[in-house]
Structure 1
Amino acid sequence: MKLRSVLLTAVAVSALLLTGCSSTGSSDTAGSDSTSASNGAWSYKDATGTTVKVDHTPKKVVVLNDIAISFVQYGLHPVGTFGQLTMADDARFTGLDTDGITQLGTGYGDIDLEKLAALQPDLVVTSVYPTDEKGTLDTSQPGYGFKDMAQQKQIAAIAPVAQVRWGGKGLDVIKDITGLAESLGAKQSKVDAAEKRFDTAKGKLETAAKDSDLTVVSMYADGDGAYVTRPADEPTLQMYTDFGVDLVNPKPKGFYWGIYSWENAGQITGDVLLLSQQGYQVADLEKQPTFADNAALQAGQVHSWTFPALDYASQADYMTKLAGWLDDSKKLS
């Protein structure tokens, strides 16, 4: 399945409900408010407008890999995870403590419901992507990482599901995920330290972007063609744009991706390429006749785009690397 396949398709067993867990509809405006009352009750208003309620602060949480990374960075320890990549194959988990976290599947939509039920989770957390540049959420479609609505309903019968908006301004998403993590018991010392590192990395990236005056392309590629990310539609790239990075907007129209056939891939230009950790890698691109002479590819100015998790720590790490890449690269276009 292609990277962020839900976005591509958007634009082009059952278990008893755990005692004490419920989710109820809320008002028509969705926020990210979470509360943990003095009596132990916990609630969270998710991106879909649903207020998820648990009669105690959830301790056993199953989380989409994109967000599980952030939770671990903040000192939380999910009991299980799922997503497009396994922890072993996802470079973002490198160096993180994953002991005791159960891998519930090997790919998108692959979630072992029996394993999930055996974990007796208090809460399942995933994300939801907008379907257009206006930020529209299609609640008739499953949350990210779920195969279909039937599977989502089976999961919701095991534990309530909370969905975090993965769109709009990157800093807003970071704040939402951080707030959710804090409501679940994240270590404040880790959050504060991560935010300080983030601020330092932001300064380095702003300086490198200004001094280098380079253009940057974020892309995924496979046998069908090259997919250039539209910066405004990806929260992390939107944030980097705010920090001064000159990210290239693809010419083909469409939400999130500008899709180039290999016949037209020669139109993709930039000084630095951020290449998805999934799909074609450098050796594959070098075999494409219409792309092998790409200036950034020939200059060796290609680096891994890991879709860094939207938390202060993960972003600090990636922004520091990106600043270094910009400092070490030369102008090609």
Structure 2
Amino acid sequence: MSRRLGALAVAAALLLSACSSGTDPDGEPADGGTAGEAGWSYVSGDGKTYTADEVPTRIVAHAYAAKALLSYGITPVAVYADGPIASDVGLQGVDLTGVEVLSEEWGVIDVEKAATLQPDLIVGDWWPAEDAYSGMEGGVEEESKKLADLAPVVGPSQGDSIVDLVEGYATLAKSLGADTAVVDQQRTDFDAAVAAFEEATAAKPGLTALAISPYEDTYAVAVPEYAPELLDLQSWGLDVIVPTTPDPDFPYWQSLSFENADTYQPDLLMFDDRNHPGNEDTLTAQPIASSIKAYAAGATTTWPAYWLHTYPDYAAQLERLTTVVEQADENVGDA
């Protein structure tokens, strides 16, 4: 660690501290986050309450977290992304004018540049399955993980529902001083989109779907337990198939060889939209593609994989998927 990095870490430690899980400074249950004359506090995804004498203003955020904060008028000083920002489906429409970009590659973050910005808060999703925040997971460069030495890392948890994650960012933004009056209308529009989706799935009770991400020589099938947007779709009536044998070392997926890509026969095949249409092209090139009934019938679409963080984005995806469900044939997989 450089001397400057160490000095900033000490300064951050003096500014913010992690307190006992789920309580405010007076020992009362915390409500998620507060900002005011008494300072700042936020119950983060790791279960700890973070406090400061002043509301943090110099924020470095994972790009998806930054999009959420920006939707509430909170502009970070820098972002780190998992890939090229211009081509990231989850970052379409985001305006990063004046914001430093510390990374456009997963697992690699320019911590030295981040140090010069003197951040007082790092924001990213908390991933319970990996016991880490975005950018701090296993496989990330050790040098890049030193971003956490610059300031405390906070953010809502990935869990059983993207709705909870979206609400978590709204709470965080409010604690940082955002005017969240707009969130009420956003939530109203979102609830209307959910209702329309539920109506569509109720009309197709036998419809099954499979979420996939083919690449190279692997037919990867998503495990809904670790994909909260898929859990949401299940809770709203879509029968998303649960693969039987998740990969033991990374249970987000069941990795099949293409020779076994017809193991599951859904009525609707949903491609990971982060890699689309390349992942669909990968499947197209495989001889077995014609044996996957949904693919052969043209019953394909995309699913918003791991990037939803705002009500407007989620509502737009639900509106699109509602149309897909309304047009789908719930007997394709049985043909």
Query: Does the alignment pair 1:180 with 2:172?
Result: yes
3-state DSSP of counterpart to 1:267: coil
> Do the aligned residues in 2 keep the contact of 1:73 with 1:314 (CA within 8 Å)?
no
Aligned match of 1:251:
244
RMSD (Å) for aligned C-alpha atoms: 2.6
Deviations 1:271-299 (A, max 9, x none): 22221134442221101122344222233
Q: Where in structure 1 are there 5+ consecutive unaligned residues? A: 1-12, 132-136
Larger-Rg structure: 2
The 8 Å contact of residues 64 and 83 in structure 1, kept in 2 or not, is answered as yes
Residues 107 and 141 in structure 2, CA contact (< 8 A), matched pair in contact too: no
Q: Percent of aligned pairs with the same residue?
A: 28
Distance 2:100 2:303 in 1: 25
Tell me by how many angstroms 1:157 deviates.
Answer: 2.5
Among candidates 263, 270, 289, match of residue 267 of structure 1: 263
Give the alignment of 1:225-304 within 5 angstroms.
225-254=218-247, 255-279=251-275, 280-304=278-302
Q: Single out whichever of 204-213 and 73-82 deviates more from structure 2.
A: 73-82
Note the 1:84-233 alignment, pairs <5 A: 84-131=82-129, 138=131, 142-146=132-136, 148=140, 150-151=142-143, 154-213=146-205, 214-233=207-226
Deviation for aligned residue 1:153? 5.7
Change (3 A) 1:186 1:237: farther
**Residue equivalent to 1:9:** none
Render the CA deviation track for 1:4-58: whole Å, top value 9, x for unaligned. Answer: xxxxxxxxx534234553232423899872221324x112222223332333222
Q: Is the 8 A contact 1:248 1:270 kept in 2?
A: yes
TM-score of the aligned structures, taking structure 1 as reference length: 0.84
**Structure 1 residues 66 and 268: CA distance shift in structure 2, 3 A:** farther
TM-score, length of structure 2 as denominator length: 0.83
Structure 2 distance, partners of 1:222, 1:53, is 43
Asked if structure 2 preserves the Cα contact closer than 8 Å seen for 1:35 and 1:42, the reply is yes
Verify the 8 A CA contact 2:22 2:48 in the aligned structure 1.
no
Report deviation, 1:209.
1.2
CA contact (8 A) 1:73 1:313 kept: no
Residues 25 and 49 of structure 1 are in contact (CA less than 8 Å); yes or no, is this contact kept in structure 2?
no
Asked if the contact 1:31/1:49 (under 8 Å) is kept, the reply is no
- Preserved CA contact (<8 Å) 2:89 2:274: no
Aligned residue pair count:
312
Q: Structure 1 residues 102 and 297 mapped into 2: Cα distance closer, same or farther (>3 Å)?
A: farther
1:55 to 53, 56, 59: 53
Gaps of 5+ in 2: 24-28
**Which contiguous aligned blocks of 4+ residues in structure 1 show a shift greater than 6 angstroms?**
28-32
What SS class does the counterpart of residue 203 from structure 2 fall into? helix
Give the residue type in structure 2 aligned to 1:321: R
Q: Over residues 103-125 of structure 1, what are the superposed CA-to-partner deviations in whole Å (9 max), with x where a residue is unaligned?
A: 21121111111221233222111
SS at match of 1:42: strand
1:77-129 alpha-carbon deviations (Å, 9 max, x no partner): 22222232232121122223232232211211111112212332221111222
Distance, in Å, in 2 between the alignment partners of 1:312 and 1:155 is: 29
- Partner of 1:111, secondary structure, is coil
C-alpha separation in 1, matches of 2:30 and 2:219: 35
